[in-house]
Amino acid sequence: MKSFQNLILLQNLYRLKALGFEYVDHFNINEKTTFDIPKSLRELNSNISTCHLCDLSKARTQSMSGFGNQNADVMFIDFSVSQTQDEQNNHYAGRSGETLKNMIENVLLLRLEDVFITHAIKCKPLKSNVPSSSEWNSCKNYIFSQIDFIKPKVIVTLGNEAYAKLNSDEENFESVRGHVIDFMGAKLIPIYHPQHLLRNPELKKVTLNDLKTIKSFL
């Protein structure tokens, strides 16, 4: 039995290596014996929905792989799933979600079905804590694979954390907010998180200008 378990463990590790993972937290051995690199966004999302690479899988209601057009010109990336989003299984849940919907529909003049929205961390953090570096390392290849499959013209990161993780850039967010950055064949434009705008309504005018920049590339 132990040799069989070791074989399954090795198969899991080879699968993760093929996907580009360099480090993962402890995971339980499962009984799936064959693994393939996903050939489509649908296959990738299926892998996300059954992922158990970190402890967040123990407390989530579900993995939130993303919502919207699989060929979208613009892709919004939040950092992590909120409690409300997890409870409702809705990427636009809560006041923050309503704010983002208004940005998309009233400023960019797009339908929610025209864009793609996802999170850098696909599951709700434990006890609403900030996800750890190991949890990001376990999850990061999913977001980069999604970008590869969707090939958006514009990637919009919502808030400091999403930008810092995606671009491996810990510099002052204010120095890059609203700027256009070449990234994975797309234009990366960091903007304030909708939740930050709710707490700081005086920044809405700045964000309106950032949205106009985004629109100019669509």
Place of tokens 């810990």: 170
H-helix or E-strand spanning residue 139: helix 133-150
The CATH number given to whatever domain includes residue 60 is: 3.40.470.10
pLDDT tens for 137-167 read: 888 889 999 999 999 999 999 999 999 999 9
Domain assignment present for residue 82? The answer is: yes
Q: Could you tell me the end-to-end alpha-carbon distance of the chain, in angstroms, rounded to an integer? A: 56
Domain assignment present for residue 119? The answer is: yes
Pick the more confident residue, 78 or 2. 78
The answer to whether 66 touches 155, Cβ cutoff 8 Å, is no
Give the predicted TM-score (pTM) of the model.
Answer: 0.81
H-helix or E-strand spanning residue 181: strand 181-183
Domain assignment present for residue 24? The answer is: no
Positive or negative: CA dihedral 17, 23, 24, 26: positive
pLDDT tens for 29-43 read: 443 434 467 888 989
Domain assignment present for residue 7? The answer is: no
pLDDT over 70 (residue 76): yes
Domain assignment present for residue 25? The answer is: no
Residue 143's domain comprises: 38-216
pLDDT tens for 38-69 read: 888 989 988 888 888 887 877 777 888 999 99
3-class SS at 156?
strand
What single string gives the DSSP state of each residue in 42-105?
Answer: HHHHHHHHT--SSGGGGT-S-----EE-TT-SEEEEEEE--HHHHHHT-TT-HHHHHHHHHIII
Confidence of residue 7 (pLDDT cuts 50, 70, 90): low
Domain assignment present for residue 23? The answer is: no
Confidence of residue 96 (pLDDT cuts 50, 70, 90): very high
pLDDT over 60 (residue 123): yes
Domain assignment present for residue 183? The answer is: yes
Domain assignment present for residue 27? The answer is: no
Confidence of residue 117 (pLDDT cuts 50, 70, 90): very high
Output the pLDDT for position 112: 96
Question: Considering its fold, how many domains does the chain have in total?
Answer: 1
